[in-house]
């Protein structure tokens, strides 16, 4: 057994570090470092830089224009990206709809959509949840009526991340009402500029516009935008979940925030004593760091098993999602504690970068509360912790 | 990166598990725990025959040349069966000190007979005032001609009652807390001036306190350079942490299996209690905790290879912190979900819980390790 990176992996890590150092725009890096909210252009500029290097879709197979990164390379990339203040990558294209497209799409669909995902010229969003279909996603009601060469879509999606930035949506719709509720679901690609698509913002606690409700009113979707067979959308959606394992670990975010926590706890003083020297706080920092270590090693063990040809084991991706989000949330909580009373100031100007408002108070105190508020969603989206535990109880434990 | 067991390790795992299953059932273990000796000498000789006692020692030393991941496989079995033979005490601790510091002649005299199962070793380092600080040693060894005279008190000497030789840590220079100035000596059980108070610990194992009153040992019994045993002592205790972590994983695995089985079979209100979502989710938490413990036990074992002592200490502290957290979760929840049976002497569950609880206060508790982790 051996924990060390291979020479090739070490070289890759050095290459990633050098590339980010040279190409990450300073203004974007500073926004990330200082907890400013990013806008569409910030995300897209960085993703397009990565796209030109082939790294936005590094994990894709070569035949589809990827770099065939191993899961280890994805882990390395995310860790370094976290250390060096890179923005979170929008995974809807590269890690979600992309693999579905190159696995189940037609040649025409692949030719149309894959290049624009690779170079990040198109922003994708995910249309899954509905007001009546959250954890019970298969109860979705958005209706797509088959009109031969096209579908007509009516209904509503909700909690759609960045729908207001998106050019395209991959969407689960109901095309049949017979059999099990999972059986009448189809996977459609919808151009967000189509008449009848209406995006309404949902404001977050911190004032940010991130989530949306998306309404469909007689939206005409060409049949060529149907992925695979009608009625098999649930299968494709489940396939997609399998691709989220490494992303589920939140490595970039946790790496970035732990680094911040160590830095802030070393700066903040209480009556002359650094916060990090307070044994009670130090115990919390150590506690969350070692839990992250256990998650990292758990992920590596899973990859090593898969590499050796053993199945990952039922429930592993749920396990990683549960712990990756709990640990991330715990760090945001400790950052709020570290910022202390300074963290109470709500400063939308600096946060949103909307105007030239000067920052009041220390730099590190701007972001923790918004980040803490925002990250409570982590254990809710993508299958809540409770749903993940149901999945594990059933599939891993046979309960 | 490669986290797969080799074919040889898989074989070792299978043979350890088979031994625990076939030769060490709970009734047998219960009789041993209540016996005068506290373990099974026949089993100890079998461990020698299997080669388990020689695993961590190099071929030059007469051992098998394994590493901490191999020792971990045996220790996981020790945890699965709650084996009472002093493997940790004799092989990892006592043997570890002889391996780290001993000369070829000293290894031939004391280490090789231990590997062969003819002798047992124990490490006497902790003291009434040291708690978890191994370097806080007040016992003194005074040079006297071609000999040393040792005075002091040692506590919680694991495997002490049945040890043939003690590796005694005593100060030849400096003050309590200094890493420099510690020396290690091989002292035979029964040497004049050694008073031993044997006892059982709550988990059924055996330990002893030692009072050394003017104990005279030949200078040839000093291991390594005078005053230079501190580093080795800390490293051996880190090896002990990795071994304990593996033992805890074995014990937790049994608790997870038996609790899951109980949830599926125990009927209340006309259905298995495992149909309750409150219990299902807690069972999932136990399962996750076990997997995390397994990760950290492996991590600890692999990080013993780390040449940078500060990085090694930090990693082993991380291991102990996580093992203690997960062991408490799994142990307490297993007892709770077994209902009142979980706190009875009759059911194995409570004994696993007790052993895990004793591990928490062995070689540093979480608070102590947090401090060491943060200072690295």
**CA–CA distance, B145 with B219 (Å, rounded to integer):** 9
pLDDT digit string, tens, across residues A132-155: 999 899 999 999 999 999 999 999
What is the model's pLDDT at position A244?
Answer: 63
Dig out the tokens for A64 from the structure: 């589809």
**CA–CA distance, A152 with A145 (Å, rounded to integer):** 5
Quickly tell me which residue has 């709650």 as its tokens: B82
**Residues contacting residue A2 through CB under 8 Å, at least 6 positions apart:** B1, B2, B3, B302
**CA–CA distance, A264 with B27 (Å, rounded to integer):** 55
Cα A140 to chain centroid distance, Å, stands at: 22
DSSP state letter for A89:
P
Is the CB of residue A323 less than 8 Å away from at least one CB of chain B? yes
What is the model's pLDDT at position B353?
Answer: 98
Nearest to A397 among B4, B260, B374 (CB): B260
What is the model's pLDDT at position A124?
Answer: 98
**Residues contacting residue A142 through CB under 8 Å, at least 6 positions apart:** A127, A130, A153, A154, A155, A156, A157, A171, A172, A173, A174, A216
**CA–CA distance, B74 with B64 (Å, rounded to integer):** 14
Partners of residue B296 in chain A, C-beta under 8 Å: 290, 293-294, 297
Length of chain B: 376
Domains of chain B, CATH where assigned? 7-120 (1.10.540.10), 122-227 (2.40.110.10), 231-375 (1.20.140.10)
Angle at B82 between CA B77 and CA B87, to 5 degrees: 65
Partners of residue B325 in chain A, C-beta under 8 Å: 287, 291
Nearest CA-CA distance, residue A114 and chain B, Å? 32
Dig out the tokens for B7 from the structure: 């074919």
**Which runs of E-coded beta strand occur in chain B?**
121-124, 140-144, 147-158, 165-171, 182-188, 194-200, 206-218, 222-223, 267-268, 271-272
What is the model's pLDDT at position A354?
Answer: 67
What is the model's pLDDT at position A317?
Answer: 87
pLDDT digit string, tens, across residues A156-191: 999 999 999 999 999 999 998 888 889 999 999 999
**Residues contacting residue B170 through CB under 8 Å, at least 6 positions apart:** B137, B139, B140, B141, B148, B150, B152, B182, B183, B184, B185, B212
Q: How far is CA B340 from CA B139, B196, B226, B336, B343, in A?
A: 45, 38, 54, 8, 6
Quickly tell me which residue has 């079995």 as its tokens: B77
Q: State the best of A393, A394, A396, A398 to mutate against chain B, taking most chain B CBs within 10 Å.
A: A393
Residue A356 has pLDDT above 80, yes or no: no
A269, with CB counted inside 10 A (0-12, 13-18, 19+), is: exposed
What is the model's pLDDT at position B376?
Answer: 87
Length of chain A: 399
What is the model's pLDDT at position A311?
Answer: 75
Complex ipTM: 0.96
Mean pLDDT of chain A: 94
Smallest Cα–Cα separation from B236: which of B177, B159, B322, B313?
B313
Percent helix, strand, coil in chain B, to 5, is: 55, 15, 30
Angle at A45 between CA A44 and CA A47, to 5 degrees: 60
3-state DSSP call for residue B118? coil
What is the model's pLDDT at position A179?
Answer: 84
Angle at B364 between CA B361 and CA B319, to 5 degrees: 105
Nearest to A297 among B287, B288, B299 (CB): B299
* β-bridge mates for residue A199, sequence order: A214
Dig out the tokens for A157 from the structure: 């999606």
What is the model's pLDDT at position A198?
Answer: 98
Q: B254, A282 in Cβ contact below 8 A?
A: no
Quickly tell me which residue has 């692949």 as its tokens: A110
What is the model's pLDDT at position A355?
Answer: 63
* β-bridge mates for residue A221, sequence order: A151
Is the CB of residue A396 less than 8 Å away from at least one CB of chain B? yes
Domains of chain A, CATH where assigned? 7-91 (1.10.540.10), 124-231 (2.40.110.10), 244-395 (1.20.140.10)
**CA–CA distance, B226 with B57 (Å, rounded to integer):** 23
The residue ranges of chain B whose pLDDT is under 70 are: none
Q: How far is CA A379 from CA A11, A72, A95, A272, A323, in A?
A: 35, 25, 20, 37, 9
What is the model's pLDDT at position A341?
Answer: 96
**CA–CA distance, A329 with A375 (Å, rounded to integer):** 6
**Residues contacting residue A318 through CB under 8 Å, at least 6 positions apart:** A383, A388, A389, A391, A392, A396
Beta carbons of A283 and B370 less than 8 Å apart: yes
- What one-character-per-residue DSSP string does B16-59 give? HHHHHHHH--HHHHHHHHHSSS-S-HHHHHHHHHHTGGGTTS-T
Is the CB of residue A2 less than 8 Å away from at least one CB of chain B? yes
Quickly tell me which residue has 């091989």 as its tokens: B186
**CA–CA distance, B68 with B78 (Å, rounded to integer):** 14
Nearest CA-CA distance, residue A292 and chain B, Å? 10
Q: Determine how β-strand A273-274 pairs with β-strand A269-270.
A: antiparallel
What is the model's pLDDT at position A96?
Answer: 93
Beta carbons of A287 and B321 less than 8 Å apart: yes
Q: Does the CA dihedral B123-B128-B130-B132 come out positive or negative? A: positive
Partners of residue A9 in chain B, C-beta under 8 Å: 1
Beta carbons of A389 and B292 less than 8 Å apart: no
Nearest CA-CA distance, residue A393 and chain B, Å? 6
DSSP state letter for A135:
S
3-state DSSP call for residue B222? strand
Q: A214, A169 in Cβ contact below 8 A?
A: yes
Q: Does the CA dihedral B249-B252-B256-B261 come out positive or negative? A: positive
Beta carbons of B281 and A322 less than 8 Å apart: no
Dig out the tokens for B329 from the structure: 């979760």
Smallest Cα–Cα separation from B149: which of B164, B170, B165?
B170
- Residues of B within an 8 Å Cβ radius of A: 1-5, 69, 260, 263-264, 274-275, 277, 280-281, 283-285, 287-288, 291-296, 298-299, 302-303, 318, 321-322, 325, 366-367, 370-371, 373-374
Smallest Cα–Cα separation from A338: which of A254, A273, A287, A275?
A275
Beta carbons of A396 and B287 less than 8 Å apart: yes
Nearest to A397 among B284, B294, B322 (CB): B284
What is the model's pLDDT at position B141?
Answer: 98
Dig out the tokens for B374 from the structure: 């943060």
**Residues contacting residue A306 through CB under 8 Å, at least 6 positions apart:** A71, A312
pLDDT digit string, tens, across residues A208-256: 999 999 999 999 999 999 999 999 999 999 888 766 667 778 999 999 9
Residue B291 CB: number of other CB atoms within 10 A? Answer: 25
Dig out the tokens for A103 from the structure: 């696995």
> pLDDT-based confidence at A316, cuts 50/70/90?
confident
Nearest to A294 among B5, B295, B370 (CB): B295
* Whole-structure pTM value: 0.96
Nearest CA-CA distance, residue A21 and chain B, Å? 26
Nearest CA in chain A to B318: A290
CA atoms within 13 A on the CB side of B54: 22
Smallest Cα–Cα separation from A386: which of B329, B286, B281, B292?
B281
């Amino acid at each position: 057994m051996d924990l060390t990176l291979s020479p090739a992996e070490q070289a890759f890590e050095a290459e990633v570090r050098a590339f980010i150092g040279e190409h990450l725009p300073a203004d974007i890096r500073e926004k990330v470092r200082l907890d400013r909210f990013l806008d569409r252009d910030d995300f897209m500029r960085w993703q397009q830089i990565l796209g030109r290097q082939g790294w936005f879709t590094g994990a894709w197979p070569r035949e589809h224009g990827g770099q065939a990164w191993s899961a280890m390379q994805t882990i390395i990339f995310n860790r370094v990206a976290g250390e060096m203040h890179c923005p979170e990558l929008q995974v809807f294209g590269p890690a979600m709809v992309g693999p579905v497209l190159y696995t189940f799409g037609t040649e025409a669909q692949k030719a149309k959509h894959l290049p624009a995902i690779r170079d990040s010229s198109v922003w994708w969003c995910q249309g899954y949840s509905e007001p009546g279909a959250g954890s019970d996603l298969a109860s979705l009601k958005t209706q797509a009526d088959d009109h031969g060469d096209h579908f007509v879509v009516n209904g509503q999606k909700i909690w759609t991340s960045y729908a207001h930035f998106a050019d395209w949506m991959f969407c689960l719709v109901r095309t049949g009402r017979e059999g099990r509720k999972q059986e009448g679901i189809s996977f459609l690609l919808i151009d967000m500029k189509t008449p009848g698509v209406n995006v309404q913002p949902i404001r977050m606690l911190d004032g940010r516009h991130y989530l949306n409700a998306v309404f469909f009113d007689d939206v005409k979707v060409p049949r060529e935008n149907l992925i695979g067979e009608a009625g098999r959308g649930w299968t494709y959606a489940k396939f997609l979940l399998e691709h989220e394992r490494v992303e589920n670990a939140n490595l970039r975010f946790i790496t970035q925030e732990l680094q911040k926590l160590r830095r802030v706890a070393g700066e903040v003083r209480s009556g002359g004593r650094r916060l990090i020297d307070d044994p009670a706080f130090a115990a919390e920092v150590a506690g969350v760091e070692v839990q992250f270590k256990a998650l990292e090693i758990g992920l590596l063990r899973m990859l090593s098993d898969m590499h050796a040809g053993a199945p990952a084991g039922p429930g592993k991706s749920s396990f990683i999602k549960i712990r990756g989000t709990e640990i991330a949330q715990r760090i945001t909580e400790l950052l709020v504690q570290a910022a202390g009373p300074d963290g109470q100031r709500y400063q939308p100007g600096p946060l949103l970068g909307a105007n030239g408002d000067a920052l009041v108070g220390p730099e590190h105190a701007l972001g923790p509360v918004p980040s803490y508020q925002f990250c409570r969603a982590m254990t809710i989206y993508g299958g809540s912790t409770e749903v993940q535990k149901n999945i594990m109880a059933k599939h891993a434990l046979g309960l | 990166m490669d986290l797969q067991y080799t074919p040889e390790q898989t074989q070792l795992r299978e043979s350890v598990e088979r031994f625990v299953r076939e030769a060490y059932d709970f009734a047998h273990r219960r009789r041993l725990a209540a016996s005068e000796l506290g373990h099974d000498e026949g089993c100890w000789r079998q461990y020698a025959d299997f080669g388990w006692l020689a695993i961590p020692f190099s071929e030059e030393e007469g051992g098998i040349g394994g590493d901490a991941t191999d020792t971990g496989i045996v220790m996981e079995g020790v945890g699965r069966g709650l084996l009472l033979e002093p493997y940790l005490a004799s092989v990892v601790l006592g043997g570890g000190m002889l391996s780290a510091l001993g000369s070829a002649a000293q290894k031939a005299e004391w280490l090789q007979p231990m590997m062969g199962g003819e002798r047992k070793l124990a490490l006497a380092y902790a003291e009434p005032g040291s708690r978890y600080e191994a370097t806080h040693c007040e016992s003194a060894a005074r040079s006297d001609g071609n000999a040393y005279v040792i005075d002091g008190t040692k506590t919680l000497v694991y495997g002490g009652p049945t040890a043939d030789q003690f590796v005694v840590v005593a100060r030849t220079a400096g003050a309590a807390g200094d890493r420099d100035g510690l020396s290690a000596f091989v002292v035979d059980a029964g040497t004049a001036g050694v008073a031993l108070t044997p006892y059982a610990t709550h988990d059924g194992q055996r330990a002893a306190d030692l009072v050394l009153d003017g104990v005279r040992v030949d200078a040839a019994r000093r291991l390594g350079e005078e005053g230079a045993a501190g580093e080795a002592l800390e490293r051996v205790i880190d090896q002990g942490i990795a071994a304990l972590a593996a033992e805890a994983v074995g014990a937790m695995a049994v608790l997870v299996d038996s609790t899951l089985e109980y949830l599926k079979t125990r009927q209340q209100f006309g259905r298995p209690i495992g149909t309750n979502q409150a219990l299902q989710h807690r069972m999932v938490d136990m399962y996750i905790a076990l997997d995390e413990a397994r990760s950290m036990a492996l991590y600890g074992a692999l990080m013993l290879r780390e040449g940078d002592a500060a990085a090694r200490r930090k990693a082993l502290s991380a291991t102990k912190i996580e093992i203690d957290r997960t062991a408490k979760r799994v142990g307490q929840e297993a007892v709770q979900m077994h209902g009142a049976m979980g706190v009875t002497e009759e059911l194995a569950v409570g004994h696993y819980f007790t052993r895990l609880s004793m591990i928490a206060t062995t070689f540093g508790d979480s608070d102590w390790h947090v401090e060491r982790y943060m200072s690295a």
